[in-house]
Amino acid sequence: MVENNVNIFVKSYWNYFLELEDQFIATKKFVEFDVSNFATYSVEYLKLFQAVCSEIDVVAKILAEEYDTSFKRIENKNIQKWGYYLQSAYPHLETTSVTFNNDYSVCPWQNWKYEKYTDKNGALRYRLLQGKETPFWWTAYNKVKHERTSHFKDGKANYVRANQKNLIYALAALYILEKSYLESIKAGRKMSYIESKLFMYD
């Protein structure tokens, strides 16, 4: 990718990540960032959770296309499809952990991997590898987005999944995606952009 496009990525995607991060930091004066507050949920967390996960979907598709232009021709680009391409481009995703708030490590893409296969009708499909799973925060995002007032096992509405823990992990996942891309294209090139206030690689 040429330098001009790198600058476009920083302006269009990385700077938006920083804005989402700043909005999350602003909530700290009401609810401390602490594991004891992981289950805390709010309308503000709901708004941010949906914005962060929506941006993950956007950025993931951009990076998948950057890695393999054939991705552009795929229809219904969901997490199984862009996940497969991202894991080919960045095989370290599944094991990458970052430190949050100089406090503890999170590994948002842990145990997440897809395979491509052909079904009985000859159609190309994507699925989780045996023993792997969809990130818990992504499942929570879809429940909050599509089934907000429905209830899950403990009897609570899906609304409560818009909590601090899921938001932290989602923001960490977005950070890892974007930093992975920026680091991959750095290649000795001098790049200047503002660093995250909340995350750093372990």
Q: Are 34 and 161 in contact (CB under 8 A)?
A: no
- Tens digit of pLDDT for each residue in 17-28? 999 999 999 999
Place of tokens 């600058």: 7
Number of domains composing the chain: 1
Residue-by-residue DSSP string for the chain: --HHHHHHHIIIIIHHHHHHHHHHHHGGGTS--SGGGTT-B-HHHHHHHHHHHHHHHHHHHHHHHHH-GGGGG-SS--HHHHHHHHHHH-TTGGG--EEETTTEEE-TTTT--EEEEE-TTS-EEEEEPTT----HHHHHHHHHHH-TTSB-TTS-BGGGGSBHHHHHHHHHHHHHHHHHHHHHHHTT-----PPPSSEEE-
Q: What are phi and psi of 57, to 5 degrees?
A: -60, -45
- Domain range enclosing 166: 3-201
- Tens digit of pLDDT for each residue in 124-157? 899 999 999 999 999 999 999 877 766 766 667 7
**Residue 1's pLDDT band (cuts 50, 70, 90):** very low
Place of tokens 């956007």: 58
pTM of the predicted model as reported, rounded to 2 decimal places:
0.93
